[in-house]
Amino acid sequence: MTLSTSPSTQFDALQALVLAMPMARTLGLRFVSVQPGQVEVEIPVSDAFSFRPGQLQATAVFAIADFAAVAAAGSVLPPGWVNATVDATLKIVAPAKGECLRARGRVVDAGRLLTVCAADVFAVDSHGQETLCATLLGTARNIDASGGAR
């Protein structure tokens, strides 16, 4: 994700890059908020990704967690840099059921070449009540796509 120097433009570029990915569009991913080092996204609970009515498969849970964590890592990259997931571990702690899933990604440690990031995923019911259903710890590889040095 090549980002500009203006924070709002940088975050718009981050959202546009993520939402250009077919998987993000297929899941119905929506950005709720973006701040330096923190991203919140949501996906609807869809029967297309459920193994029983109203309960998402682990694949969709992993995807939203990965998008949130790595997007948070991308939110602190300098202009001309991009990133990609190189490692992630998901721990499911409750069923992913309700109206939508909400994932809050954050940067744990931003290094030059690697950024450790994390996300908590919440199942949100029809009343807006959140239940933690999974947590992810990941690593994103930072890549200088412009050819310059950081």
Question: Which tens digits make up the pLDDT trace of 16-25?
Answer: 989 999 999 9
148: nearest Cα among 81, 84, 101, 59? 81
Is 87 inside a domain boundary?
yes
2 found inside a domain: no
Hunting for tokens 């909400």 — which residue is that? 102
DSSP code of residue 113 = S
For the chain, how many structural domains are there in total? Answer: 1
- pLDDT at residue 147 in the model: 72
The reply to whether 34 falls in a domain is: yes
Q: Is the pLDDT of residue 9 over 70?
A: yes
- Per-residue pLDDT band for 1 (boundaries 50, 70, 90) equals very low
The owner of tokens 């940067």 is 107
Residue 149 is assigned to a structural domain of this protein: no
46-96 pLDDT, tens per residue? 999 998 888 899 999 999 999 999 999 999 998 888 899 999 999 999 999
Residue 150 lies in a domain: no
Q: Please spell the DSSP secondary structure of 86-102, one letter per residue.
A: EEEEEEE-S--BSSEEE
Alpha helices for the chain (secondary structure H):
7-19, 22-27, 58-74
- Average pLDDT over the chain reads 91
> Does residue 1 form part of some domain?
no
**Residue 37 falls within a domain, yes or no?**
yes
Q: Is 135 left (phi over 0), alpha (psi -120 to 50) or beta?
A: beta
pTM for the full model?
Answer: 0.91
Q: What's the CATH code of the domain at 62? A: 3.10.129.10
Domain span at residue 84 reads 7-144
